[in-house]
Amino acid sequence: MSFIDGTAVNVALPIMQKDLGASAAEVQWVVEGYSLFLSALILIGGSLGDLYGRKRIFSLGIGLFAAASIGCAFAPNAVFLIVARCVQGVGGALSLPGSLALITAAYTGEARGRAIGTWSGFASITGALGPLLGGGLVQYASWRWVFAINVPLALLVLAVLAYGVDESRDAQATPGIDVAGAILATLGLGGLIFGLIHLQGGLPDALGLASVVAGCALLAVFVYVEAHEPHPMIDLAVFRSRTFAAGNIYTFLLYAGLGGGFFFLPFDMINVQGYTPSAAGAANLPFILIMFTLSRFSGGLVTRIGARIPLVLGALLAASAFVIFSFAGVGKSYWVSFFPGAVLLGLGGASFVAPLTTTVMDAVSTARAGVASGINNAVARTAGLVAIAALGIALAGGFESSVELHLGQMHGVSAATVAIVKANAGTIVTGVVPAQITDPAARDAVRAAVKQTFAAQFQLVMLVTAVLALIAAGIGFDGSFRRVPASR
């Protein structure tokens, strides 16, 4: 459910926006609301499972995720959908850590490795099916089915849990839960994201700036609390390892580019290029299939050649892919605009994903492997959360004035049409033509202006993601990514 939602919802966003009459900021919150609570609470979810029972907490998370999915499916407006997505994020934070924890508790030795491999394989398969499923449901049924499909899946999972899974918990788990840390992480990230999205409206305003400052301050307090908390949700001691610290900086930069880039791609494909939802869902399939096919072969590279080459090569390939996406323009063939970038991104992902995971896990002792994995997972999700809001500023900057400039160069565009465009500045930024413009000639003119402007701003966004990937490549040169002995 989580992996399908993670890839299917993005494809459905442009259609959701039109159906609900949502602004660009509200559409971002549909994704950000889920990611915010998932990122901030996923480590707490793992701790709760260890302490109170993994099966119990996993079941609670699945039930909450399903209930929130029903709310999403029947959402009458954008605000209701955003609230339901936030609840979904809480459900995901409770259930996601438990999935691997239950496997770890049920198997040992070689069988555990095979079980985790099976889990990874199904995660990749469902991730690959997500865009296709989401695009097909949106095009031939409704975007609401993207969420409704979670309900029968949840009932099946709960039945399997009830009759086929034993309860387990960590007998060594400390009794304390870092409630203060969870609250500070949620408020800090929430304040930062709210401020960044609010600043997309144009000139910086007091509320947006104050929210960003307050969010950063709360995150600073969060770090202080974690350093002094007896049972912290993030054990800062693991960052004493230079390799672990560098690996997480690399993770943040690269996953910021991936998360931000994949959020804006469907808007360009559907609203600007004119792709159907199913075609947009299939467009990035080469990326997922290549990464899924080749990742198993790159996992052992660290023990043979070290992490440096795979990490640097992967980031450079990702940067090249984003540069190709930036020149998509308007109306070009898929085979010369998005396909080459999707292939390069797949090759890049296959190069860095498994070596990065191996390097981060090997950077700490075996006893702290779970902590290291959880932190790296949270860093990757937080990167996408922050990137979507920050890149939205790059997309929105000068958008309204650019559309007006394009309209001013066209003949026969009335002042009333320009006024409607100004009044709907929060909607057109994602490439949507306001419904109030009913005259066919005026709609064509506005559509052309919006497409040209979005293409130019989309190019800027993709180039920023390319720069993030290039900086990550620079981090990959760090001397801490030395060859790992085969004995480990």
Is 414 in the same domain as 294? yes
Place of tokens 């002042």: 415
Binned at pLDDT 50, 70 and 90, residue 304 comes out as confident
d(CA 251, CA 315): 10
Closest CA relative to residue 385, chosen from 2, 91, 6, 58: 6
Q: Looking at 210, 230, 250, which one is the last position of a domain?
A: 230
Is 454 in the same domain as 312? yes
Is 169 in the same domain as 290? no
Residues 24-52 pLDDT 10s: 899 999 999 999 999 999 888 888 888 88
d(CA 352, CA 312): 8
Specify whether the CB–CB gap between 1 and 150 falls below 8 A. yes
CATH code of the domain covering residue 243 = 1.20.1250.20
In this predicted structure, the answer to whether residue 176 has a pLDDT above a threshold of 70 is: yes
Give the per-residue pLDDT at 34.
94
Q: What is the mean pLDDT of the chain?
A: 87
CA dihedral 111, 114, 118, 119 (to 10 degrees): 70
Give the per-residue pLDDT at 53.
86
In this predicted structure, the answer to whether residue 487 has a pLDDT above a threshold of 60 is: no
Q: Looking at 174, 196, 220, which one is the last position of a domain?
A: 174
Closest CA relative to residue 339, chosen from 264, 438, 276, 269: 269
Is 312 in the same domain as 342? yes
Is 164 in the same domain as 212? no
Binned at pLDDT 50, 70 and 90, residue 118 comes out as confident
Compute CA distances 156 → 25, 82, 132, 144, whole Å: 35, 26, 22, 20
Binned at pLDDT 50, 70 and 90, residue 482 comes out as low
Specify whether the CB–CB gap between 146 and 12 falls below 8 A. yes
Is 223 in the same domain as 317? no
In this predicted structure, the answer to whether residue 423 has a pLDDT above a threshold of 60 is: yes
Is 165 in the same domain as 114? yes
Specify whether the CB–CB gap between 194 and 211 falls below 8 A. yes
Number of domains present in the structure of the chain: 3
Give the pLDDT mean for 321-327: 96
297 against 232, higher pLDDT: 232
For residue 41, give its domain range.
Answer: 1-174
Give the per-residue pLDDT at 117.
65
Give the per-residue pLDDT at 296.
67
Is 264 in the same domain as 404? yes
Q: Looking at 192, 207, 230, which one is the last position of a domain?
A: 230
Binned at pLDDT 50, 70 and 90, residue 486 comes out as very low
d(CA 137, CA 135): 6
In this predicted structure, the answer to whether residue 449 has a pLDDT above a threshold of 50 is: yes
Least confident of 12-16, 127-131, 278-282, 348-352: 127-131
In this predicted structure, the answer to whether residue 383 has a pLDDT above a threshold of 50 is: yes
Specify whether the CB–CB gap between 260 and 322 falls below 8 A. no
Nearest 5°: the CA angle 301, 302, 303 is: 95
d(CA 324, CA 14): 22
Compute CA distances 228 → 178, 222, 369, 383, 427, whole Å: 11, 10, 21, 25, 45
The pTM for the full model equals: 0.89
Is 410 in the same domain as 322? yes
Is 215 in the same domain as 127? no
- The total of other beta-carbon atoms located within 10 Å of residue 70's CB is 15
In this predicted structure, the answer to whether residue 485 has a pLDDT above a threshold of 60 is: no
Is 212 in the same domain as 291? no
Buried b (16+ CB within 10 A) or exposed e, 81-113: bbbbbbbbbbbbbbbbbbbbbbbebeeeeeeee
Place of tokens 């979904």: 88
In this predicted structure, the answer to whether residue 175 has a pLDDT above a threshold of 80 is: no
Structure tokens at 290: 């290549």
- Most confidently predicted of 214-218, 245-249, 303-307: 214-218
Residues 147-169 pLDDT 10s: 999 999 999 999 999 888 888 87
Is 18 in the same domain as 39? yes
